[in-house]
Every structure is written in structure tokens, then in C-alpha cells.
Amino acid sequence: MDQRTARLRPGPGLHALLDRLLGRGPGRTVPAPRTSNPDAVVDCAVYVHGRREPGRPHFADAYARSRHGRDAFVWLGLHEPDPAVMAAVGRVFGLDELAVEQALADGHRPTVQRHADVTLLVLRTAGYVEHDELTEDSEVIDTGDVMVFVGDRFVVTVRHGAAGALTSVRAEIERRPALLAEGPWAVAYAVCARMVDLYLEVAGHVERDLERVEESVFARDRAADIPQLYQLKREVVEFKRAVLPLQTPLRTLLDAHPANPPRALHRWFADVDTRLARAVDRVAAYDDLLTSIVQSRLAQLAVEQNNDMRKIAAWAAIAAAQTGIAGIYGMNFAHMPELAWRYGYAGALGLMAVAAFTLYRLFRRSGWL
């Protein structure tokens, strides 16, 4: 090697300087490339001016892209995430720690919570479970949770349960770029609208179940059992707990508040509130109707039990007449009428038969038998 080549080759000191500048010095590790989204991530996309950007990036990369873009936001959809995934999502999007813990469980009451500049909207999902016959352990309505975190540049949806899938919501709103251009609150509107549509759909199925139950209760040949009615009552009450409490949080979003949806979306949320009121009226009416059906069935059972008791009392009276006659002639006194009569035994049996037939006719005429 000549001296000129040796002068052009970097020495050890230059290598060390380059390593420090590139972050490859001693004790420094090169960041690993971003891995794919966890299994709990149903979908993740960046939207710019209401249109979806190509690809399905990692939620951290998607959020970074949305923060540097104009009129851009990210929609991350999760389904039953584990604590590790939810903690990572909370760190990336700056979610409140208590809200992150709340998103790990289901069974929450519909509400609206505000944590700094992030709004948490909690909704209940509902789905109708098809069944051939109503039994005492039939599942009629399947409920779950949807939690919507709405920030300035992101919306995170966390769903629990099988009901209320949001894939169709995403597909539908992506076909409406003008609405999606309103930002994360447009996604929140689409989720609310989907939940209310599910309420109305489930209410229609429940109405048909109630019609069949009502026909069965008042049918002559067959009536519904009380355990079946109580099971349907429990399912309707569970449905009622999912629908009715949403009215107050939804109307809260229509108030004049800086953290609420933009003015352009108010009429859309107002439309959802109107449809929700219709669902609330139907569910409340079904609950009252089912209560009346249960009371009617209980009254029927009381009448049936009263009829049974009258029949038992009538047959007991008929048997008591035979017992009385046999008891009198079984006392074996020396001086009794017809005791020494040749046909006394046959006469006693005949008297018993006449007494039984007479009592039977009387009870039959009075409706006891």
C-alpha cells in the first residue's frame, strides 16, 4: 500500500467519530425496525383530507405521520387488547392512565369523560342471538362495550365482546370523504350511529319474540312457562341498561364546549340522538309489555291453582260421603236400622253410589269439576 492510499483510508479516530455521530458508539444500540401491529389491532390507518393513506402502518408510525401532516389523523381500532398492548397505545397517544385501565375491562355504563385534551366516549354494543325456541337459559341479546378515545389527531376505538364490530363502520365512512374530512369526531359520530342502528335492529327482533310469547301465554292449548318469561325479562332489562343511559352523554356532546364535536357535525349527532330516543321508547314499551305478560301469566297460574284446589275439594267431599256412610254402618251396634236386613250390604253400597253421583252432579253443575 502506498502512502497516498494510506492517507485516504480513515484511521481509528475517524471511525470512532463517525460511530458517535451515527449513534453507533460503545454502549449505544441501533433502534430495531418497527414490528407489525399486535393481534389486538383490527385496523390502523392514516386519513388525510378525509381519504385513507395506503398501507396499514404500525400505530406509533401512523400517529407520527398524522402529527406532521395537515388535516390528518389516525384511526386505531382495537378488539379486547391485553394490558401490554393497551399500555403501549396509552404511551403513544398520551392517554390517561385510569382511562387505559378502564379500557381493559367491559361492563361500563355509557358516559362521556374528558381527560386533558382527550375525550373518552363509552358506549354499549348490542346484538341479537338467533334461537329456535325461548327457554329458561336462552341468550337473546349479547352486549359488549365500545370505548372511543378522541384526540386532536387521533381516534382510538377499543371494543369488548362479539357484538358491535366496526369493520363495516370504517368501510362506510371511508366512502364519505367529505364527512371524514371533519376529523376524529366524524369517526365518533359513525360509531354512535352504528350503535343506535344496532339498538333499533335488536328492538325489531325482540318485538317478534314478544309477539310469540304473547300468543303462547294466551293460547288455550299451551302457555309459556314463568322461567322462560323471566329469562326474556332479564335479557330485555340488560338491553335497557345498554340503551337508556346513552341519552345523557350523547346530549352532552351537543353542548357548546371546546372539546365537543365541531359545529359542522352537530346536526349529525342530533340525528343520532333522535334515533336513540326512538330506540329508548321502544325498549321501554317492550319492558312494560313484558311486565304485563308476566303478570297475566301469574294470574293464569293463580286461576289454575284455584281450579285445582276446587277439584281436590270436590273429590274430597265425594269421598267423605262414602266414608261417613261406611263409618256409621261399621259401628256394629245391636240395634241399627237395616242391620239385620238381608239386602243391607247391597243397600249400603247403593246409598254410597247415589250419594257420590248426586254430589258429582252438583259439583259438575257449579263448575268445580
CA distance 326 to 366: 27
Q: Which three cell numbers stand for residue 292?
A: 304485563
Quick one: which of 130, 136, 98 has its CA closest to 114?
98
| Beta pairing, strands 141-150 & 41-48 | unpaired
Among residues 302, 322, 342, the one where a domain terminates is 302
Residues 234 and 328 in one domain: no
Residue 129's domain is classified under what CATH number? 3.30.460.20
Residues 281 and 340 in one domain: no
In the three-class reduction of DSSP (H, G, I as helix; E, B as strand; rest coil), residue 80 is classed as coil
Q: Which residues of 175-205 are buried (b: 16+ CB within 10 A; e: fewer)?
A: eeeebbebbbbbbbbbbbbbbbebbbebbee
Which pLDDT does position 105 carry in this prediction?
86
For the entire predicted model, the pTM comes to 0.74
Helix residue ranges, H only, 103-217 = 167-174, 177-180, 184-217
Kindly report the three-state secondary structure assignment for every residue of 209-240.
HHHHHHHHHCCCCCCCCHHHHHHHHHHHHHHH
Among residues 260, 285, 302, the one where a domain terminates is 302
Which pLDDT does position 224 carry in this prediction?
62
Cα torsion angle, 359, 365, 367, 369, sign = positive
Residues 259 and 331 in one domain: no
CA distance 216 to 304: 16
Residues 236 and 120 in one domain: yes
Which pLDDT does position 223 carry in this prediction?
59
Residue 36 lies in a domain: no
CA distance 352 to 322: 5
Residue 293 lies in a domain: yes
Among residues 302, 324, 348, the one where a domain terminates is 302
Residues 192 and 260 in one domain: yes
What residue numbers bound the domain in which 15 lies?
1-31
Residues 280 and 318 in one domain: no
Q: Where are the beta strands (DSSP E) in 34-79?
A: 41-48, 51-52, 72-79
Quick one: which of 89, 261, 70 has its CA closest to 153?
70
Residue 326's domain is classified under what CATH number? 1.20.58
Residue 259 lies in a domain: yes
Quick one: which of 45, 43, 48, 44 has its CA closest to 177?
48
Burial (CB < 10 A; 0-12, 13-18, 19+), residue 43, is middle
Residue 85 lies in a domain: yes
Which pLDDT does position 35 carry in this prediction?
57
Residues 198 and 240 in one domain: yes
Which pLDDT does position 19 carry in this prediction?
45
Residues 64 and 17 in one domain: no
CA distance 59 to 64: 9
Burial (CB < 10 A; 0-12, 13-18, 19+), residue 120, is buried
Give pLDDT tens digits along the chain (369 positions).
444 444 434 444 434 443 443 344 444 333 344 557 778 899 999 999 989 998 888 999 999 988 887 889 999 999 999 999 999 999 999 999 999 998 888 888 899 999 888 999 999 999 888 887 777 777 888 888 999 999 989 999 999 988 778 999 999 999 999 999 999 999 999 999 999 999 999 999 888 888 888 777 776 666 567 777 888 888 888 888 889 999 998 998 888 777 788 888 999 999 999 999 999 999 999 888 888 888 777 777 777 777 778 888 888 888 888 788 777 777 766 666 666 677 777 777 888 888 888 888 887 888 777
Residues 355 and 287 in one domain: no
Residue 144 lies in a domain: yes
Residue 245 lies in a domain: yes
Please count the helices (runs of H) and the strands (runs of E) in the chain.
Answer: 12, 7
Residues 27 and 88 in one domain: no
Which pLDDT does position 12 carry in this prediction?
46
Report how far apart, in Å, the C-alpha atoms of 221 and of each of 4, 5, 218, 229, 230 are: 110, 107, 9, 18, 21
Residues 77 and 208 in one domain: yes
Residues 290 and 335 in one domain: no
Number of domains in the chain: 3
Query: Quick one: angle between helices 184-217 and 266-329, nearest 10?
Result: 20
